[in-house]
Amino acid sequence: MGEDGGGAFEIVTREDYSDVTYMLEVRHPQMAKAAQAGQFVIVMEHEHGERIPLTIADFDPERGTVTLVVQAVGKTTKEMQQRCREGTTLYAVVGPMGIPSHIGGAKKVLCVGGGLGVAPVYPQARAYARSGAKVIGVLGFRNKDVMFWEDRFRAVCDELIVCTDDGSAGIKGLVTKGMEQALAAHPDIDECVAIGPPVMMKACAEVTRPRGIRTIVSLNPVMVDGTGMCGGCRVKIADGIKFACVDGPDFDAHQVDFDDLMARLARFKPAEAEAMKKWEESCRMKGGDASAAERY
């Protein structure tokens, strides 16, 4: 809940990066001081809203803000896309949660972000740079029109490779192509961080596996309470079961059972589709289309 017990976390900045991706900078001085790279928060847009986990994409102790980058793919994130504007508030922002990323003694690190995963890999790239490591960044987007934060990465990376599916910016191809290019130029890379859709992280793991490069991924299973009680975020790591909320969200990519993760995520798609259908029907009843929800 909010610091005053009532929940009032002001959105001080809102930016839209595409028709589905948007950034919210939220005032939360205590969290801004406590947050570390790799951690996440659980957000409730209103008192009766769904609890959704969001990775902390940035934090600024001086401004007293934390930054969240959200993709409107489900009922709650689409609702937030319509309602969350500068000057409005979020009912609850709980965290920071999860184990912070281990920024060890690596001398040269490859930081890979795909799509929405570009945002959470940024604080890790910055942390590595501040630790004295050389940072090679690889960012992947569908096209140049949905690119974001290139300037932030250039400020912390010694080298940056941008990949787009259609070749409209950087090199044409997936992030794995950018990784191959980086690894060919820098055979002394000793650590890799990759964040993005599960299929992307799985592909990244297969690029580094034969080279024996330690690779860390941030997992995004369905999560409810964020304390390890519900068990919804369990993931298969090597021969054991872990909970992403308390044991992660960072894990050794070469130990993750990505096929199991993707299968678990797919099981919830029917329920997610039903929730979206009901919400859109409610919006149409109120104002003619889903965009009318913004007025309520």
Whether residue 42 has pLDDT greater than 80: yes
SS3 at position 100: coil
**pLDDT score for 2:** 40
SS3 at position 285: helix
- Token readout for 154 is 């250039």
Q: In angstroms, rounded to a whole number, what is the distance separating the alpha carbons of residues 203 and 213?
A: 14
pLDDT tens digits, 151-208? 999 999 999 999 999 989 889 999 999 999 999 999 999 999 999 988 999 999 999 9
Name the average pLDDT for the chain: 83
How far are the Cα atoms of 41, 121, 156, 171 from residue 174, in angstroms, in the given order? 29, 17, 22, 9
**pLDDT score for 212:** 93
Enumerate residues 6+ apart whose C-beta is below 8 A from 267.
none
**pLDDT score for 193:** 93
Domains of the chain: 9-97 (2.40.30.10), 108-266 (3.40.50.80)
For residue 205, the surrounding DSSP H or E stretch is: helix 198-208
**pLDDT score for 117:** 87
Q: In angstroms, rounded to a whole number, what is the distance separating the alpha carbons of residues 164 and 207?
A: 18
- Token readout for 63 is 């401004």
**pLDDT score for 281:** 60
**pLDDT score for 234:** 73
Residue 51 carries which DSSP code? P
Beta bridge partners, 110, equal 136, 192
The percentage of the chain sitting over the pLDDT mark of 90, rounded to a whole number, equals 45
DSSP tally for the chain: helices H, then strands E: 9, 16
Helix ranges restricted to H, 27-117: 29-34, 75-83
Q: In angstroms, rounded to a whole number, what is the distance separating the alpha carbons of residues 233 and 221?
A: 5
Whether residue 139 has pLDDT greater than 60: yes
- Token readout for 271 is 């329920």
Whether residue 225 has pLDDT greater than 90: no
In this prediction, residue 5 has a pLDDT band, given cuts at 50, 70 and 90, of very low
Q: In angstroms, rounded to a whole number, what is the distance separating the alpha carbons of residues 87 and 217?
A: 34
Whether residue 128 has pLDDT greater than 50: yes
Position with higher pLDDT, 265 vs 262: 262
Q: In angstroms, rounded to a whole number, what is the distance separating the alpha carbons of residues 40 and 95?
A: 7
How far are the Cα atoms of 134, 183, 225 from residue 186, in angstroms, in the given order? 11, 5, 41
Whether residue 39 has pLDDT greater than 80: yes
Position with higher pLDDT, 5 vs 44: 44
pLDDT tens digits, 65-91? 999 998 888 778 888 888 889 999 999
Position with higher pLDDT, 4 vs 54: 54
Rounded to an integer, the average pLDDT of 260-282 is 62
Rounded to an integer, the average pLDDT of 236-260 is 83
Position with higher pLDDT, 222 vs 12: 12
Whether residue 254 has pLDDT greater than 90: yes
Q: In angstroms, rounded to a whole number, what is the distance separating the alpha carbons of residues 250 and 233?
A: 13
Q: What is the pTM for the complete model shown? A: 0.81
Cα dihedral across residues 231, 235, 237, 240: positive or negative: positive
Rounded to an integer, the average pLDDT of 52-64 is 91
